[in-house]
Amino acid sequence: MSAPTHGALAGIKVVDLTRVLAGPLCTQMLSDHGAQVIKVEPPTGDETRKLGPPYDRLGHAAYFSALNRGKKAISLDLSKPQAQAVLHKLLSDADVLVENFLPGTMERWGLGFEQTLKSRYPRLIYCSISGFGADGPLGGLPGYDAVLQAMCGLMSINGEESVGAVKVGIPIVDHLTGYVALSGILLALQARSRTKNGQRVEATLYDTALSLLLPHASNWFASQKPPELLGSAHPNIAPYDKFQAKDGELFIGILNDPQFRRFCSHIGLEELPDDPRFASNSSRVTHRLQLKKLIEIAIQNKDSGQLCESLMRVGVPAGSVNSVPDALNHPHSLHRGMVITRGDYVGLRSPVRLKDTPDQPGERPPAFAQHADEVLRNAGFTDEDIVCLHETGAAPRP
């Protein structure tokens, strides 16, 4: 099995025991930047393979295809000693292991980091991803993105009074946890270059969700006033909100007084910056509802797209509220190369860009255990061994 030779992480081998979103997203980004990633799935497969419709031509859910390109796939039943022996073979020259089992699962199999792997593979970086961590009042419990959004206050600040609290429309906690895990792994690799030793990296959905509470947490620390539902508005800045124009909605974000003055001049409200209610950001925040009404009256006959472009040209950030297809087909999205096409595979590119060692997104996501024999042979198993592993169920066939 040839390892990638491109990218900043060329030569790094990753054993990926993760499923669903945060872990697979992390390891996909490692793969995009040159790491060799071996995806190890349980006999039942990664749950996201079945989270559809829609499905691609191979029967994979689009959800799975979004998170697993560039990986070699094998299945192991890690409850079986024969499968554990395979994992040890894979770890013998691995740099990173990433897992997102419930805390205690790896220990129950005799594969815990402190328990076994740290002493056996001293250079190994072991990244665990979980809902709440292993200890504390919620330690070891399962966690899902939307549940963490609810528990950690994110839903309480997302929504409007008329509809109440609403979860963010993407799995934002899972997504950011993948980046937290990626950052921790890269930090640990840098530390290893000095110390020659691996270490444990931990990423939890709970910590990640709480870290998203900015500026709402700091506002509460300072005022002891619980944040309110503001819809698309900002608690500290105005106008920083969604507005209705003639043909659709747009978002206008104004951070300082010069921007506000240029904005008002552009839409025919030249007198507004001299009105005491709107002369400073703090006064605009206090009178945000009156300000929004005046702005929407001024732009009610304007085309949203044209207005956004003209505002941006004078230094006022503004953008149409686009649909997902509109956003993905925007000329700038195409210019940035954010949409990847590999035959009939279409996916989103990692946003991390390196000029001298650029990323190179890998091949389409693998079928279940697609590379089992290849991975096993490269780990030193004979054809007879491979047949035995398949027959015992330790390494299920595709």
Residues 309, 194 share a domain: no
What's the average model confidence in pLDDT over 181-207? Answer: 98
Residues 156, 197 share a domain: yes
Give SS3 for 180.
helix
Residues 53, 180 share a domain: yes
* Tokens, residue 341: 């096409």
Residue pointed to by tokens 């959004």: 149
Report the alpha-carbon distance of residue 159 to residue 289 in Å, rounded.
16
Residues 202-229 pLDDT 10s: 999 999 999 999 999 999 999 999 999 9
- Inside any domain, residue 217: no
Q: Quote the pLDDT of residue 60.
A: 83
Residues 138, 175 share a domain: yes
- Of the three residues 257, 288, 320, the one that is the final residue of a domain is 320
Cα 32 to chain center, whole Å?
A: 14
Total structural domains within the chain: 2
- Inside any domain, residue 398: no
pTM score: 0.93
Alpha-helical (H) ranges within 10-76 are: 22-32, 62-65
How far apart, in Å, are the Cα atoms of 122 and each of 72, 116, 126? 25, 10, 10
Q: How confident is the model at residue 1 (pLDDT cuts 50, 70, 90)?
A: low
Least confident range from 20-24, 56-60, 94-98: namely 56-60
Residues 191, 56 share a domain: yes
Of 32, 46, 77, 174, which residue is the catalytic one? 174
Q: Indicate which CATH number applies to the domain containing 346.
A: 3.40.50.10540
Residues 299, 188 share a domain: no
Residue 386 backbone zone (phi > 0: left; psi -120 to 50: alpha; other: beta): alpha
Full domain range(s) for residue 275: 240-244+249-320
Contacts 24+ apart (CB under 8 A), 52-60: 56/344, 56/345, 57/344, 58/367, 60/365, 60/367
Residues 64, 207 share a domain: yes
Q: Indicate which CATH number applies to the domain containing 261.
A: 3.30.1540.10
Residues 349, 292 share a domain: no
Q: How confident is the model at residue 3 (pLDDT cuts 50, 70, 90)?
A: low
Task: For residue 77, indicate whether it is catalytic.
Answer: no
DSSP 61: B
What's the average model confidence in pLDDT over 311-318? Answer: 96
Report helix, strand and coil shares of the chain as percent, to nearest 5: 40, 15, 45
Q: How confident is the model at residue 4 (pLDDT cuts 50, 70, 90)?
A: low
Amino acid 212 reads L
- Inside any domain, residue 184: yes
- Inside any domain, residue 332: no
Flag whether pLDDT at 99 surpasses 70: yes
- Inside any domain, residue 344: yes
Q: What is the CA radius of gyration of the chain?
A: 25
Residues 284, 135 share a domain: no
Residues 364, 257 share a domain: no
Q: Quote the pLDDT of residue 158.
A: 95
